[in-house]
Amino acid sequence: MEVLRGSAAVAAGVVTESQLRGPNWVRVLPDTYVARGVELDLRVRSVAAFRHVGANGVLAGWSAAELLGVRAAPHDAPAEVVVPAAGRRVHQGLVLRRDRLRRRDVWLLDADGRRRPHADRSRVLAEGGVHVTSPERTAYDLARREPGLVRAVVAVDAVANACRIAPSAVLDVAVRNRGARGITRLPRVVDLADAAAGSPMETRLRLVLVLAGLPRPTVQHPVLYDDARTAVWLDLAYPEQRIGVEYEGAQHAGVEGLVRDADRYTRLVTAGWRMFRYTKQDVLRGPERIVADLRRALRPPRCT
């Protein structure tokens, strides 16, 4: 195991106390150790937080999302655990919450991230498994707690896409938790969400357009190459106007990416598409220009 609860591991004979104090383990929380050399990313920090709190804890928020396979957490996201009682000491990088969770809200994951029946709880936890909030509950919690509307939609898009759930599932959880803090904005978040979104920055690009009052674009629109009988997928599109809008991330860098994109965009332009391509810098620091570009492009041509 790469993460250990020290006292439990010593009692089980996995390691000795002197080994835990040696060069092969790093103490990250009281009585909680990570093997030296293991990157302290959100997944590892979350598992460590779960070991620290104990088997009655449930990973939630971005911690749950990470363990569920969602790769969209902010770089500074803390480990987050729902605990049955308050009064635990606060530690930097760890958020403890008291909240009401129903059985359907909690999944048991084994060390490989696969869901297991609750009947196997003791064995799975002993072998490195964890409790996490379900995808629906995770999206619900992030939707009501993320600061700002845009970040909330980004979170719901990411969980819905990775876990193959409908954004509307967030509202089903809200119905079971009437009166909970933050739920009044959930209908707006769900209305703006789209499970087809391919990345957080694609979501942000879409929201730049929609929140400025432009028509809602189609997400992940397929364009068929008739000659090759293959299709490309546009991040965003206005099919009737043959306008495509794409976010250019790191995957487009490098010689291979440039060559692939050159052929792709040549084919699209030849097929009559007008393509608009934007970077992270454009989305975060120049949204007004994006809106102006697309507003002009969508304007009906003047009659002559």
Query: What is the rounded average pLDDT of the residues 221-226?
Result: 83
Q: pLDDT at position 262, please? A: 78
Q: pLDDT at position 90, please? A: 74
264 pLDDT band, cuts 50/70/90, is confident
Query: What is the rounded average pLDDT of the residues 64-85?
Result: 94
pLDDT single digits (tens) 99-134: 989 999 999 999 999 999 999 999 999 899 999 999
Q: pLDDT at position 84, please? A: 83
Query: What is the rounded average pLDDT of the residues 215-231?
Result: 84
- Name the CATH superfamily housing domain 200-298: VSR Endonuclease (3.40.960.10)
255 pLDDT band, cuts 50/70/90, is low
Q: What percent of the chain has pLDDT over 70?
A: 93
pLDDT single digits (tens) 178-193: 999 999 999 999 999 9
70: Cβ–Cβ under 8 A, 6 or more apart, which residues? Answer: 138, 158, 159, 162, 163
Instruction: Judge whether residue 9 has pLDDT over 60.
Output: yes
What residues does each domain of the chain span? 3-192, 200-298
Query: What is the rounded average pLDDT of the residues 53-68?
Result: 96
Query: What is the rounded average pLDDT of the residues 263-274?
Result: 86
Query: Looking at this protein, which amino acid is placed at residue 260?
Result: R
pLDDT single digits (tens) 272-297: 999 999 999 999 999 999 999 999 99
For tokens 């707690």, the residue is 145
Please, what is the average pLDDT of the chain? Answer: 92
Q: pLDDT at position 16, please? A: 94
Q: pLDDT at position 157, please? A: 98
Taking a C-beta distance cutoff of 8 angstroms, is the pair 279, 248 a contact?
A: yes
260 pLDDT band, cuts 50/70/90, is low
Instruction: Judge whether residue 226 has pLDDT over 80.
Output: no
Long-range CB contact pairs, 185-190, < 8 A, 24+: 185/143, 185/144, 185/149, 185/152, 186/140, 186/143, 186/144, 188/149, 189/143, 189/149, 189/152, 189/153, 189/156, 190/143, 190/156
Q: pLDDT at position 302, please? A: 72
First to last CA, the chain: 73
